[in-house]
Amino acid sequence: MTNNNYAVIMAGGIGSRFWPISRTSHPKQFIDILGTGRTLIQNTFDRLSLIVPERNIFVVTNQSYVNLVKKQLPTLLEDQILAEPIMKNTAPCIAYACFKILCLNPNANIVVAPSDHLIIETAAFTKAVQECFAMASSQDSLITLGINPSRPDTGYGYIKMSDKGFSENFRSVEHFTEKPDIDTAKAFIRDGNYLWNSGIFVWSSSSIYYAFEKYCPDLFNIFAEGLGVYNTRKEKLFVKEAFLKCPSISIDYAIMESADNVYVLPAEFGWSDLGTWSSIYGIAEKDVSGNATIKSDKILMYESSNCIVNVPGDKLVILSQLNDYIVVESNNTLLICPKGQEQEVKQFVFDVKNRFGVEYV
C-alpha cells in the first residue's frame, strides 16, 4: 500500500428511488439496506481502506450529511470530509476533491467511487484497482472500470470498447451510452464489445487536472482559483463561493465522453449499483416462489411470487396473490408498487412532496 494512492467516496446523493426507506434527510448510502450490519458507505470505506491508507480516503458529501458521515465513519478527520454547499452533480465534486488532493500530493493516484454500490468480491475489486493505479502512475490516462454484462439491462449506462488498447487488459473507449432501451441493450450484448459503466474511475491527480483544463475549462477555472487555498482555513469559504458558480454536470459529460486518453478495464467483482428495488431483489436470497424478504421473519406469502418485501421487523405482514411487486414500509409510509413501474418512484416522491409536504420525503 503506497502513500501516493488516494480514494474519493462520492456520498452526496439523495437516493430517491429507494423511497420510502431512503429519505432526503437520511439517504440510502447511510442505511443498512442489505441487512448486513454495515451501511453502504461503511462497506465502501471498508473496501477502499484495503487499497489505500485510511488517511488518504476523502468523502465528498452534501453539507447536510456531514454529521452522518462523522457518525458512521468516526475515524475520519475533519479535513477528510469535503462538504458541498449545494448539489451540482459529479463533475464539480470530483474537481474539488482531486484539486485538493493534487495540492497535497502532486504524485497522487486517485480512485473515485460512489458510496452506495455493492461489490461482493472484494479481492477481485482490489486487484482491479491496483492494476489501474499502476496504469495511472505510468501513463497519462483516465480509466474507468467496466463490468462484463450478464444481461441486457436498461438500468445501466454502457461503454463501447475499441479493438485498440494500451495493453491486453486496458482497452480504449470508443463512446459512452446512457441507459438504453431494451432492444438497444440486447444489441449491445450481441455485439460483445460493450460493458456496463460502473461509475468507478482511476487517474493520476495531474491527468485529471489537465483533463479539466482541456475539456471543461469552466469548471477548471473555478476550482483552479483555489490552488492556493486548498488545505487551509480559507478552503471552506472558497468552496462555498465556487459551487455557486458551477454548472450541474456529470463527469461523463464534462470529461469522459470527450477525452482522447480514456481506457476501460473489463472486470468482474460482483458489482451492482443498487439503483432500484429490483437491483436489491436480484441479489437477495429468495424462497421457492422467488420472494425476497428483508429484515423480517414475520411475513406470510400466499399464492405470491417474485416479490421483494422490506418492512419493519416487528410488523406482521400477510400478502396474498401478489406477483412481481415491491412492498416497502418505513417512516410512517407504505409503498406497494409493481416492479415494472419502479422507475416511477421518483414521480411518486414528487407528488407526495407537493400534496403532503417535505416530512414524508
Q: How far, in Å, CA of 212 to CA of 36, rounded? A: 38
Whether pLDDT at 168 is above 80: no
- The residue-averaged pLDDT of 245-267 equals 95
- Overall average pLDDT of the 330-352 stretch: 88
Percent of the chain residues past pLDDT 90, beyond the cut: 73
Kindly list the domain boundaries of the chain, sorted by start residue: 5-272, 277-360
So what's the pLDDT on residue 43?
96
Which cell numbers in the block locate residue 114?
460512489
Percent of the chain with pLDDT strictly greater than 70: 99
Q: 46, 37 in Cβ contact below 8 A?
A: no
269-311 pLDDT tens trace:
999 888 888 888 888 889 999 999 987 788 999 999 999 999 9
Task: Grade residue 313 by pLDDT with cuts at 50, 70 and 90.
Answer: confident
C-alpha cell at 224: 483552479
Q: Is the pLDDT of residue 9 over 70?
A: yes
CA–CA distance, 223 with 230 (Å, rounded to integer): 10
Specify the pLDDT at position 282.
Answer: 85
Return the closest-CA partner of residue 331 out of 28, 35, 61: 28
Cell numbers of 194, please?
460493450
Grid coordinates given for 136: 495511472
Give me the sign of the Cα torsion angle 151, 153, 156, 159: positive
How far apart, in Å, are the Cα atoms of 271 and each of 5, 312, 344?
Answer: 22, 27, 24
CATH class of 5-272: alpha beta
Average pLDDT estimate for 105-114 = 97
What is the pLDDT at residue 2?
66
Rg (CA), the chain: 21
Question: What value does the mean pLDDT take over residues 253-276?
Answer: 92
Query: What is d(CA 298, CA 310) in angstroms, rounded to the nearest whole number?
Result: 11
> How confident is the model at residue 244, as a pLDDT?
96
Over the chain, what is the mean pLDDT? 93
Residue 241: what pLDDT?
Answer: 96
